[in-house]
Structure 1
């Protein structure tokens, strides 16, 4: 049974196009990049870019370097699309989900069978639990001296160059 999107609607909304767009092929058939791009409502260059960022996306390449996507590849791309466009993940965040939860999980997200964890605002290291120690008197004096010097430089530069005129573009 499919899981509902965050807004309570069935998967298949704007952030998760369904397979119904391409009914002329069997469900297990390979798809060209143009078919997958149309199915996912993405430009082809985005799919090619994702291949460089998500090593798990590996379409078969045949004569003329044509790409053929397996059904699992399409589910993976659909899951990546849902993470990036539907849930607000960054590419690094989606890569982390793939690394930590695995390809099958992201494919299930693409099919609407799983829901990815809530997006964490920072894709960087977590903030330390303790605040850094307060600045000492010497550190504060050094920083104040540097700030005063920078302000003096700004004033000197302001005297050398006339103020820039704002122009309407």
Structure 2
């Protein structure tokens, strides 16, 4: 039986999902401080759905966009984790940022979301808002 979309992933499951070897994920943890999977006793890694989204963004920036490790670090430092995650969004799982952007420039242009990604985010936001309302109602009691 397949895991649900909100289930935690082991390093092997995350690596398979992203199409990279496990040692690459371990290496990225040493280079990108914002990659922090949960670790259980014995050092076993578990990746939350957001961790996988971050890793997908890093993969897209490094492999599809051709950024260097320092380039991804700078993008994160200047524009935050949301920009890294946004790089991994797309219909085929890889990102295509606007071409011609100078990633070493002081300000990196924000990626424009396509309509499908925007619809998915709006749907997720509605679900999260409904869940928050239900939780708020339970907390009032």
Matching residue within 39, 43, 47 for 1:65:
43
Larger radius of gyration: 1
Secondary structure in structure 2 of the residue aligned to 1:68: strand
Q: What is residue 15 of structure 1 aligned with on the other side?
A: none
Does the alignment pair 1:50 with 2:32?
no
The Cα shift of 1:112 comes to: 2.4
Distance 1:100 1:124, change over 3 A: closer
Distance 1:36 1:81, change over 3 A: same
TM-score by length of 2: 0.64
Q: How does 1:111-150 map to 2 (within 5 A)?
A: 111-112=89-90, 115-116=96-97, 118=99, 120=102
Q: How does 1:1-169 map to 2 (within 5 A)?
A: 24-112=2-90, 115-116=96-97, 118=99, 120=102
How many residues matched? 102
Partners of 2:105 and 2:81 in 1: CA distance: 22
Partners of 2:75 and 2:98 in 1: CA distance: 8
Between Structure 1 and Structure 2, the one with more helix by share is 2
TM-score by length of 1: 0.54
For the aligned residue pairs, the C-alpha RMSD in angstroms reads 2.4
* 5+ long unaligned stretches in structure 2: 107-141
* 5+ long unaligned stretches in structure 1: 1-22, 126-169
